Structure 1
């Protein structure tokens, strides 16, 4: 019995993936269809407009993001559903200033 439990433990450890946790809890907006984004960089925006990239927030996050973006970079934008549209528009405009051409907004279907 112990051998079976040990083998199951090894199986789950080998097949699991370890990801960095989201910097803050967000409620993603609903989408019409589920699109699996395959971006390389993840940017998070909270409901109050706080932008986070990696461990950096707001202006420092934008500077760090600008340093990592090239013309082939894909960016996943995780946005809280309660984020006002004018703030989202400002965030999307800011992506153009840092050189991000491919930005995907992540939404979930409920």
Structure 2
């Protein structure tokens, strides 16, 4: 009978579990610190103001230079119906209008907003 020596043991490699933990922690960190906002529906050049420009809020009513409207997923005249479904205690509606939009268009829009139940608005303007 032939006697064999003890079976050689393989060296155990480095564990990658700590590296995986670090990668997941970094992923969670970046996801938690990132500001995830939907893209603006069309490019807006805000009017100039003396203060710092404000960031667009998720509850924003957009008005393009050509008079096009956008609110969430609604476009043009459908935005007024979408605004009727807005919570009354949601705070002021943020309006982000293009700098080339005539003020008369914005002025005629305010009664329509009031008819939709929006009486508190905040107009976003950019810095020079």
Paired residue total:
107
Which residue, out of 41, 47, 53, partners 1:29? Answer: 47
Q: TM-score, normalised by structure 2?
A: 0.70
Match for residue 88 of structure 2?
70
Q: Which runs of 4+ in 1 moved over 6 A?
A: 37-40
Q: Distance in 2 between matches of 1:90 and 1:58?
A: 15
1:44 paired to 2:62:
yes
In 2 relative to 1, CA 37–91 (structure 1 residues): closer, same or farther, beyond 3 Å? farther
**Greater percentage in strand:** 1
1:61 paired to 2:79:
yes
Q: TM-score, normalised by structure 1?
A: 0.80
Of the structure 1 ranges 21-30 and 87-96, higher mean CA displacement relative to structure 2 is found in 87-96
Q: Distance in 2 between matches of 1:80 and 1:13?
A: 31
Which residue, out of 11, 19, 44, partners 2:37? Answer: 19
**Greater percentage in helix:** 1
RMSD: 2.7
Structure 1: gaps spanning 5 or more residues: none
